[in-house]
Amino acid sequence: MVQDMCEVFCFDEEKVNALKQRMDDIQGVEQLFKALSDATRLKIVYALTLEEELCVCDVANIIGSTVATASHHLRFLRDIGLAKYRKEGKLVFYSLQDEHVYQLVSIALVHVKEGEKNDGE
């Protein structure tokens, strides 16, 4: 028998209505998490938390892909506002858009490491 469900259906109407009105607040956030749920893009963003700026060729070598694939992922990250780029001659360098992106990845890493530590106890 399932023990993690309510046995009767009831809800706090006032609380539910107040929270329903707030659901539009998160519009657009799913794109951010969609971008970071892809392992390749997450590796790229993580690399950019470790190094302030990387050229597309560096990223391709780090993730073990072609320059075209790296460029595709970087463009996606740029288009949704996680990364920015600058061109220097024939090279294109990418960096994180702002400190918030760095914080998101850092907090996620801390969370995962704490979970691993707690699992070992």
**Mean predicted confidence (pLDDT) in 33-61:** 96
Nearest to 60 by CA among 43, 85, 35, 78: 43
User: What does the mean pLDDT of the chain come to?
Assistant: 93
- Is residue 57 in a domain? yes
Which structural domain, as residue segments, surrounds residue 60? 34-119
- Is residue 12 in a domain? no
Q: In whole angstroms, what is the distance from residue 112 CA to residue 93 CA?
A: 29
CATH number where 68 lies: 1.10.10.10
**Mean predicted confidence (pLDDT) in 72-88:** 97
Looking at the predicted structure, is the pLDDT value of residue 26 above 80? yes
- Is residue 3 in a domain? no
Please give the tally of structural domains in the chain: 1
Looking at the predicted structure, is the pLDDT value of residue 119 above 80? no
- Is residue 66 in a domain? yes
Which tokens is 63 given?
A: 């993730």
Which tokens is 72 given?
A: 């595709």
Residue type, 26: I
